[in-house]
Amino acid sequence: MTIKRIAVLTSGGDAPGMNAAIRSIVLAAHHYHIEVIGFYHGYNGLVCEEYIKMAKPLTLLDVSSIIQRGGTILKSARCQLMHEERGVALAAQTLKEHNIDALIVIGGDGSFSGLLALKTFWSGQLIGVPGTIDNDVDGTDYTIGFATAVNTGIEAIDKIRDTADAFERVFLVELMGRHSGHITFNVGIACAAEQVLSFENFSSENPTQELQQLAAQINEAKEARHSSYIIVMAENLWPGGAMELAKQLKLQADIDCTPCILGHIQRGGSPIAKDRILATKMGVAAIQAIMDGKSNIMVAEQDNAMYFIALEQAIKHHKLVSQQLVDAQENILALTAQTQC
């Protein structure tokens, strides 16, 4: 089958490097004389009439100066209609009406679930490119945007450390990641945080015990040395987040703790080199997969090499934070306690 026209969209939460992926897809497709149609606002661009009208061919000029830009030129969104059969059918109909041979979606597990749903209604090739700061997609070492999000978190906490040192304060910094601790552990270790609280080392079954243990460790550190104390925690770890945990530390242990929620600041900004390179490699690999007749797969990087992973496998959420990172933080915490004694 000759591939003449493909579609690309960005879906779900934006991630630095998505533009770099769009650029490489358009350039690689141009090499094979394939037209690329950009659909806007995620899957809404396939199911909502107002956005369908915005779809347009992406030229080399359109992507000539976007590799350094954060966000996505195609905009992004979550689409509730794609959770319904009629929405998926509408998306398939749009692809047919635009004579699309293959669809590339840059996003996370939810976006890939949308691709899998399309299989029932559309026979074109379906390719996923992992773009999410959470790094929680199975089968790939890293996802587009993760490295930049980690770097943004590091820069923010380095600044927080300055003011924490000045006042010898305890700061509690909440990081994004949904239900994954990849960002939290990487940022925490890179910033020499005194505590890293995440799903991998925190028991939600006995929060009272965890709170008492955390309070004891903070008090021991404050008594042993007059300095700052930084705690980084994963979002969705504690009911009510960092604000509530800080409140409980005050109520239960009389510890003054300043909460700081980085939030969406981690999604923005110019992608660092690692994300630009990864996105470029994945975009080119996506086009190559189409040329090779592959479908229902996600482009992945493992040990600096490109692989193709079944979409069903990519969304299983089996990917865990490296045990070496978890052990490293626990050992550092133990050594710090010994030094204080």
* 36 within some domain: yes
- CA–CA separation, 135 vs 144, rounded Å? 8
pLDDT for 335 equals 67
Query: Among 261, 274, 3, 297, which Cα is nearest to 130's?
Result: 297
Q: Does residue 10 share a domain with residue 141?
A: yes
* 325 within some domain: no
341 pLDDT above the threshold of 50: no
* 249 within some domain: yes
- CA–CA separation, 96 vs 100, rounded Å? 6
Report the side by side order of strands in the sheet with 195-197. 195-197, 229-234, 170-175, 257-261
Q: Does residue 115 share a domain with residue 18?
A: yes
pLDDT for 337 equals 58
pLDDT in tens, 28-62: 999 999 999 999 999 999 999 999 999 999 999 99
pLDDT for 318 equals 87
Query: Is 327 considered catalytic here?
Result: no
Q: Does residue 156 share a domain with residue 89?
A: no
pLDDT in tens, 73-85: 999 999 999 999 9
Kind plus residue range of the DSSP H or E element containing 90: helix 85-97
Residues found in the chain:
341
pLDDT for 170 equals 96
Q: Does residue 83 share a domain with residue 32?
A: yes
Q: Among 267, 299, 324, give the residue marking a domain's end.
A: 267
pLDDT in tens, 107-152: 999 999 999 999 999 999 999 999 999 999 999 999 999 999 999 9
Q: How many domains does the chain have?
A: 2
Q: Does residue 140 share a domain with residue 29?
A: yes
What long-range pairs does 76-80 form, CB within 8 A, spacing at least 24? 76/10, 76/11, 76/12, 76/13, 76/14, 76/18, 76/41, 76/42, 76/107, 77/11, 77/41, 77/42, 77/43, 77/44, 78/11, 78/12, 78/42, 78/110, 79/11, 79/42, 79/43, 79/44, 79/47, 79/114
Q: Does residue 219 share a domain with residue 78?
A: no
* Local confidence band at 329 (pLDDT 50, 70, 90 cut-offs): confident
Domain carrying residue 309: 5-145+271-314
Q: pTM of the entire structure?
A: 0.94
Q: Does residue 167 share a domain with residue 26?
A: no
Angle between helices 273-291 and 18-31 (to 10 degrees): 40
- Active-site residue, selected from the candidate residues 134, 136, 138, 275: 134
Q: The domain that contains 189 carries what CATH number?
A: 3.40.50.460
